């Protein structure tokens, strides 16, 4: 039962996309019978390293050793043959087919023997403590059951290394517990597991070893037994050193632009906050603790209960009914290539997406006016290439983000919701974005949602910490005692009883 | 008397339904792999002409029949090159194949208009042909009709009971899953296109070697399009395709009988009947969209992995 030893070893893996370094000198060892947790925020490089293992991406440099011999995983097929199986976050299952059909896809002889297939699947499921009906259509199954089918697919192929990409994101707590039981059965039979997550308690519960990734690098590898509290992991994961000094001149907060009062839904519970013009409220927390729901509700993508949100003094419904294109709300979404821009449109058209209200005369769009304005903005915000006819997809992440900010700030918003505004950007571009946000603060209130604590500390006047759908605490950034407790709050630990753990 | 007319009408239904059945099953095979081929009409007419010419010069209708299948595959291979080789738009490529095929066949066939070729003759199956009602309707036809009886069950067997059928369906439903399972999606789609084209060519051959033994301009007369519509009507199931093909065959046969009986209705109205039914069928089958069994990735090209 304690069969162990290195199954696969990664050494010095580097991978970059254009100018963005996704993985820098990553070395990992996956052992038989052990669970290795890869911990890191979104964009820390977890998916890249995983795609390399699955044969979907090729590293720029570095080597992979399987049972001591170097292998080149040049395709998914090769990775499968090498015994590496991946449970994707987005399941690779054909929903029109049955469980057994999905498991036997690409396997077996010419003829399919249904009763034998069903028997084999049922036996395998039972061996690992799963309850799956082999004849059920995937489309009729819950997310947890679909995940079990994904796992069964790999077990049936006798994969020796199973990689789970944020497996609990789609599961109910009970299903997550079942998954952990299954994982324990798998390690007991000698399989090696890589568990990718940013949920600290889960990592603490299941992992033998924890590797922490930040900005593409492994910043720490520790035995789970040596980790005393999730707060320790949180601190290492988000980092606290301020990478760049940005100058933040305190502003006199003016009228309230956003008021959230006892907002409640499936994820959020009793969220209260106030945001005034002239301040930045940094909302931090491990991703998936309700930040997305809160932002989407404030920005009009989800409907809140009545009288829970007031924007610029108006009730939510009334505000969105009469929202003008300027001097109102600007949303800088995390998904800048999907929600913020249209990849196949030019910069000018993307500029007009939210500002067209300012360039209409009757039914006509005054494109030449928009062109003059947009050109001016491109120069002011230093967007490259400085060409209005360039398509959004031709721009780098940083330039695209600057273009989104230019467009949104042109609307002279009084409330700005910025979600992960520097995620995936290089330092220079991030610094530009930070300075732009600080400048915009003079005229508006900014809700900054970020997973990067140093960013939040550098920019915010006040900090809110989210955990499990709640805002655990809201405090001024000058309150050093509270700031020191942020990792505990992010990990959901009580900040009154565990104060002695605040060693940083 | 009326009873005999009905039997004769039903027998004619089977005959005029057979070419549509071949083409529909071919298109089902192609679409199951995720490729939408609107070039059925083109592949059919190229098959029809090839069958006619080969049979006329070799004197052997069996050779003509097989050659028609190969010609159908060859024609649809153009679609494969465009859609699988170059990720071209499947709708446009299919339409182009229809226009190309019809034009090419009519052009090459100009010299053969009105000429005849040795075709297949009715061959009653001993025993079965004597069953009352069923015998005359189903078992007193030419051999190509009997071959068509076998294709639907064979396709069902292939889709449901073989590893390759499973792979083909996965390639059409969700290529990402097929790729994750280590399957070669492009190869399965090529298989879908080529085998589908083979059946479409056979459907054309039925028109020039069995239904008539003549070559005329526009021999297929829109049957390829009916096949495309029937695939939707059949919910991509070979069994339902048989039912649909005979439904259309029935309307076509009825329309001919009505014309021959000297009805007052203008013939152009009667000629419209099958196409009116096509529109009706499409409306009715899209009504229950929720339960449609359209392959999930139908018409979506697979992007090459970089």
- In chain A, the domains with their CATH numbers are 6-227 (3.40.50.300), 241-328+412-504 (3.40.50.300), 346-410 (no CATH)
Does residue B256 form part of some domain? yes
Closest Cβ opposite residue A94 in set B160, B174, B305: B174
Question: From its phi and psi, is residue B34 left (phi > 0), alpha (psi between -120 and 50) or beta?
Answer: left
Asked if pLDDT for residue A495 goes beyond 60, the answer is no
Highest mean pLDDT among A89-98, A242-251, A477-486, B16-25: B16-25
Closest Cβ opposite residue A96 in set B167, B173, B183: B173
Does residue B296 form part of some domain? no
Closest Cβ opposite residue B166 in set A77, A88, A104: A104
Rounded to 5°, angle at Cα B256 from B252 and B261: 145
Residues 6+ apart with CB under 8 A from B251: B273, B274, B277
8 Å CB contact between B40 and B199: no
DSSP B290: G
From residue A165, alpha-carbon distances to A215, A289, A500 in Å are 18, 18, 34
- Tokens 């499968």 -> residue: A80
Residue of B nearest to A98 (CA): B166
B193 phi/psi in degrees, rounded to 5 = -70, -45
- With 0-12 / 13-18 / 19 or more C-beta atoms within 10 angstroms meaning exposed / middle / buried, residue A4 is middle
Q: Which of A357, A475, A457 is nearest to A410 (CA)?
A: A357
pLDDT at A27: 92
d(CA A386, CA A350): 14
Asked if pLDDT for residue A380 goes beyond 50, the answer is yes
**Partner-chain contact A105 B305, CB within 8 Å:** no
Q: In A291-397, at which residue ranges do the beta strands (DSSP E only) sit?
A: 309-311, 314-315, 329-332, 360-361, 364-365
pLDDT (mean) for A239-252: 65
Partners of residue B173 in chain A, C-beta under 8 Å: 94-97
CB contact residues (below 8 A), chain B span 279-298, against chain A = 293, 295-296
**Partner-chain contact A96 B180, CB within 8 Å:** no
ipTM for the whole predicted complex goes beyond 0.95: no
d(CA A28, CA A207): 14
Is the Cβ of A80 closer than 8 Å to some Cβ of chain B? Answer: yes
pLDDT (mean) for A211-218: 86
pLDDT (mean) for A59-84: 88
Is the Cβ of B167 closer than 8 Å to some Cβ of chain A? Answer: yes
8 Å CB contact between A66 and A7: yes
Closest Cβ opposite residue B183 in set A96, A106, A110: A106
**Partner-chain contact B296 A112, CB within 8 Å:** no
Partners of residue B303 in chain A, C-beta under 8 Å: none
Partners of residue A81 in chain B, C-beta under 8 Å: 182
DSSP reduced 3-state for B30: helix
Partners of residue A153 in chain B, C-beta under 8 Å: 181
Q: Is the dihedral of CA B18, B19, B24, B27 positive or negative?
A: positive
> In angstroms, what separates the C-alpha of A96 from chain B's closest C-alpha?
7
Beta-strand pair A35-39/A192-197 = parallel
**Partner-chain contact B174 A111, CB within 8 Å:** no
Highest mean pLDDT among A16-20, A275-279, A350-354, B45-49: B45-49
Partners of residue B179 in chain A, C-beta under 8 Å: 76, 92
Does residue B245 form part of some domain? yes
Residues 6+ apart with CB under 8 A from B62: none
Closest Cβ opposite residue A96 in set B164, B181, B296: B296
Pairs of CB atoms within 8 A across A/B:
70
> In angstroms, what separates the C-alpha of B19 from chain A's closest C-alpha?
30
Does residue B306 form part of some domain? no
pLDDT at B306: 44
8 Å CB contact between B239 and B160: no
Q: Return the HEC string of A181-242.
A: HHHHHHHHCCCEEEEEECCHHHHHHHCCEEEEEECCEEEEEEEHHHCCCHHHHHHHHHCCCC
Partners of residue A80 in chain B, C-beta under 8 Å: 182
Q: Starting at the edge strand that comes first in sequence, how are the strands of the sheet with A271-276 ordered?
A: A271-276, A256-263, A309-311, A314-315
Q: Which of A437, A436, A37, A39 is nearest to A233 (CA)?
A: A39
pLDDT (mean) for A1-10: 67
Which of A41-45, A93-97, A218-222, A390-394 is predicted with the least confidence, judged by mean pLDDT?
A41-45
pLDDT at A3: 46
pLDDT at A455: 86
As a whole number, the mean pLDDT across chain A is 86
Is the Cβ of A18 closer than 8 Å to some Cβ of chain B? Answer: no
Asked if pLDDT for residue A242 goes beyond 60, the answer is no
Asked if pLDDT for residue A42 goes beyond 70, the answer is no
d(CA A422, CA B268): 68
DSSP reduced 3-state for A26: strand
Confidence class for position A217, pLDDT limits 50, 70, 90: confident
pLDDT at A395: 82
Q: pLDDT 10s digit of each residue in chain B, 306 long? A: 588 888 999 999 999 999 999 999 999 999 999 999 999 999 999 999 999 999 999 999 999 999 999 999 999 999 999 999 999 999 999 999 999 999 999 999 999 998 999 989 988 888 888 888 888 899 989 999 999 999 999 999 999 999 999 999 999 999 989 988 888 999 999 999 999 999 999 999 999 999 999 999 999 999 999 999 999 888 899 999 999 999 989 988 988 888 888 778 887 887 788 888 888 877 877 776 555 678 888 988 887 654
pLDDT at A5: 63
Does residue B150 form part of some domain? yes
Domain count, chain B: 1
- With 0-12 / 13-18 / 19 or more C-beta atoms within 10 angstroms meaning exposed / middle / buried, residue B303 is exposed
Question: From its phi and psi, is residue A169 left (phi > 0), alpha (psi between -120 and 50) or beta?
Answer: alpha
pLDDT in tens, A150-209: 999 999 988 999 999 888 877 777 788 889 999 999 999 999 999 988 778 888 889 999
DSSP A158: T
> In angstroms, what separates the C-alpha of A471 from chain B's closest C-alpha?
39
Question: What tokens were used for A132?
Answer: 């799956």
d(CA A251, CA A441): 8
Is the Cβ of A89 closer than 8 Å to some Cβ of chain B? Answer: no
Closest Cβ opposite residue B167 in set A95, A106, A153: A106
Is the Cβ of B305 closer than 8 Å to some Cβ of chain A? Answer: yes
A285 phi/psi in degrees, rounded to 5 = 155, 160
Confidence class for position A282, pLDDT limits 50, 70, 90: very high
Is the Cβ of B162 closer than 8 Å to some Cβ of chain A? Answer: yes
Measured in residues, chain A has a length of 504
> In angstroms, what separates the C-alpha of A77 from chain B's closest C-alpha?
5
pLDDT (mean) for A371-387: 88
d(CA B294, CA B66): 30
Closest Cβ opposite residue B161 in set A97, A107, A111: A111
Residue of A nearest to B163 (CA): A110
**Partner-chain contact B170 A104, CB within 8 Å:** no
Is the Cβ of A97 closer than 8 Å to some Cβ of chain B? Answer: yes
Q: Residue A368: how many CB atoms within 10 A of its CB?
A: 9
Partners of residue B161 in chain A, C-beta under 8 Å: 111-112
Closest Cβ opposite residue B180 in set A92, A97, A108: A92
Residues 6+ apart with CB under 8 A from A172: A144
Beta-strand pair A462-467/A280-284 = parallel
> In angstroms, what separates the C-alpha of B151 from chain A's closest C-alpha?
18
d(CA B253, CA B228): 20
pLDDT at A501: 42
d(CA B297, CA B32): 9
Does residue B299 form part of some domain? no
> In angstroms, what separates the C-alpha of A43 from chain B's closest C-alpha?
21
pLDDT in tens, A460-474: 999 999 988 999 999
Is the Cβ of B185 closer than 8 Å to some Cβ of chain A? Answer: no
**Partner-chain contact A76 B177, CB within 8 Å:** no
Asked if pLDDT for residue A451 goes beyond 90, the answer is no
d(CA A491, CA A485): 10
Closest Cβ opposite residue B166 in set A76, A93, A105: A105
d(CA A237, CA A260): 29
Does residue B252 form part of some domain? yes
Residue of A nearest to B305 (CA): A56
Closest Cβ opposite residue A94 in set B163, B164, B170: B170
d(CA B303, CA B297): 12
Partners of residue B177 in chain A, C-beta under 8 Å: 92-94, 102, 105
| Domain residue limits at B92 | 2-291
Partners of residue B178 in chain A, C-beta under 8 Å: 94, 105-106
Which of A76-90, A244-258, A412-426 is predicted with the least confidence, judged by mean pLDDT?
A244-258
Question: What tokens were used for B40?
Answer: 């059925």
Q: Starting at the edge strand that comes first in sequence, how are the strands of the sheet with A161-165 ordered?
A: A84-87, A161-165, A192-197, A35-39, A209-214, A217-223
DSSP reduced 3-state for A404: helix
Rounded to 5°, angle at Cα B190 from B188 and B191: 65
> In angstroms, what separates the C-alpha of B49 from chain A's closest C-alpha?
36
Measured in residues, chain B has a length of 306
CATH of the domain at B112: 1.10.3470
Confidence class for position A497, pLDDT limits 50, 70, 90: very low
> In angstroms, what separates the C-alpha of B236 from chain A's closest C-alpha?
13
């Amino acid at each position: 039962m304690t069969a162990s030893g290195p199954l696969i070893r990664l050494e010095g893996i580097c991978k970059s996309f254009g100018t963005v370094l996704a993985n820098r000198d990553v070395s990992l060892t996956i052992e038989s019978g052990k669970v290795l947790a890869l911990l890191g925020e979104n964009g820390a490089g977890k998916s890249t390293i995983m795609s390399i293992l699955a044969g979907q991406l090729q590293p720029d440099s570095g080597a992979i050793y399987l049972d001591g011999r170097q292998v080149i995983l040049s395709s998914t097929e090769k990775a499968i043959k090498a015994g590496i199986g991946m449970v994707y976050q987005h399941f690779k299952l054909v929903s029109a087919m049955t469980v057994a059909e999905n498991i036997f896809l690409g396997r077996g002889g010419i003829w399919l023997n249904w009763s034998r297939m069903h028997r084999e699947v049922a036996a395998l499921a039972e061996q690992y403590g799963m309850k799956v009906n082999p004849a059920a259509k995937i489309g009729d199954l819950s997310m947890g059951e679909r995940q079990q089918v994904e796992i069964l697919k790999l077990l049936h192929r006798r994969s020796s290394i199973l990689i789970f990409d944020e497996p609990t994101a789609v599961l109910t707590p009970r299903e997550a517990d079942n998954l952990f039981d299954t994982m324990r059965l798998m390690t007991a039979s000698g399989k090696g597991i890589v568990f990718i997550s940013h949920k600290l308690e889960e990592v603490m519960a299941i992992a033998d070893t924890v590797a922490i990734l930040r900005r593409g690098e492994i910043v720490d590898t520790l035995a789970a037994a040596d980790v005393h509290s999730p707060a320790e992991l949180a601190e290492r994961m988000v980092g606290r050193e301020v990478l760049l000094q940005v100058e933040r001149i305190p502003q006199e907060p003016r009228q309230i632009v956003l008021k959230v009062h006892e907002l409640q839904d499936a994820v959020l519970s009793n969220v209260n906050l106030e945001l005034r013009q002239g301040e930045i409220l940094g909302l931090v927390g491990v991703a998936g603790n309700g930040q997305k729901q809160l932002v989407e509700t404030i920005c009009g993508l989800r409907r809140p209960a009545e009288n829970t949100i007031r924007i610029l003094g108006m009730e939510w419904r009334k505000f969105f009914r009469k929202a003008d294109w300027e001097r109102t709300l600007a949303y800088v979404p995390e998904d800048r290539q999907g929600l913020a821009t249209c990849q196949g449109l030019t910069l000018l058209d993307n500029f007009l997406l939210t500002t067209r209200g300012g360039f209409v005369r009757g039914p006509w769009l005054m494109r030449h006016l928009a062109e003059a304005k947009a050109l001016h903005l491109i120069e002011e915000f230093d967007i490259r290439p400085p060409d209005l006819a360039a398509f959004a997809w031709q721009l780098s992440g940083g330039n695209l983000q600057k273009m989104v900010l230019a467009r949104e700030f042109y609307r002279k918003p009084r409330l700005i919701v910025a979600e992960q505004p520097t995620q995936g950007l290089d330092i220079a571009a991030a610094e530009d974005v930070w300075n732009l946000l600080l400048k915009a603060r003079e005229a508006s209130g900014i809700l900054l949602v970020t997973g990067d604590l140093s960013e939040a500390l550098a920019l915010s006047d006040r900090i809110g910490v989210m955990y499990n759908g709640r805002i655990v605490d809201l405090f001024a950034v000058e309150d050093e005692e509270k700031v020191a407790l942020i990792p505990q709050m992010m990990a959901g630990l009580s900040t009154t009883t565990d104060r002695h753990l605040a060693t940083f | 008397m009326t009873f005999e007319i009905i039997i004769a009408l039903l027998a004619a239904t089977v005959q005029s339904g057979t070419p549509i059945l071949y083409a529909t099953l071919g298109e089902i095979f192609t679409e199951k792999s995720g490729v939408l081929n609107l070039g059925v009409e083109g592949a059919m007419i190229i098959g029809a002409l090839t069958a006619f010419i080969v049979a006329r010069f070799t004197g052997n209708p069996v050779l003509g029949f097989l050659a028609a299948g190969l010609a159908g595959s060859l024609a649809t291979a153009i679609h494969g090159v465009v859609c699988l080789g170059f990720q071209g738009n499947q709708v446009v490529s299919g339409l182009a194949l229809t226009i190309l095929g019809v034009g090419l066949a009519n052009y090459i066939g100009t010299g053969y208009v009105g000429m005849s070729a040795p075709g297949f003759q009715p061959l009653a199956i001993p025993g079965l042909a004597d069953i009352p009602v069923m015998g005359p309707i189903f078992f007193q036809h030419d051999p190509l009709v009997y071959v068509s009886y076998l294709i639907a069950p064979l396709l069902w067997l292939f889709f449901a009971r073989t590893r390759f059928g499973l792979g083909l369906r996965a390639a059409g439903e969700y290529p990402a899953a097929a790729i994750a399972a280590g399957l070669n999606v492009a190869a399965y789609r090529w298989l879908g296109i080529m085998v589908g084209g083979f059946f479409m060519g056979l459907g054309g051959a039925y028109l020039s070697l069995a239904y008539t033994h003549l070559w005329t301009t526009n021999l297929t007369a829109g049957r390829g399009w009916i096949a495309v519509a029937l695939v939707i009507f059949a919910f991509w199931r070979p069994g339902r395709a048989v039912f649909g093909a005979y439904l259309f065959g029935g309307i076509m046969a009825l329309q001919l009988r009505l014309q021959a009986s000297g009805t007052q209705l203008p013939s152009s109205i009667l000629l419209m009947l099958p196409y009116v039914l096509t529109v009706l069928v499409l409306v009715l089958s899209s009504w229950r969209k929720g339960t449609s069994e359209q392959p999930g990735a139908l018409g979506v090209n697979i992007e090459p992995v970089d």
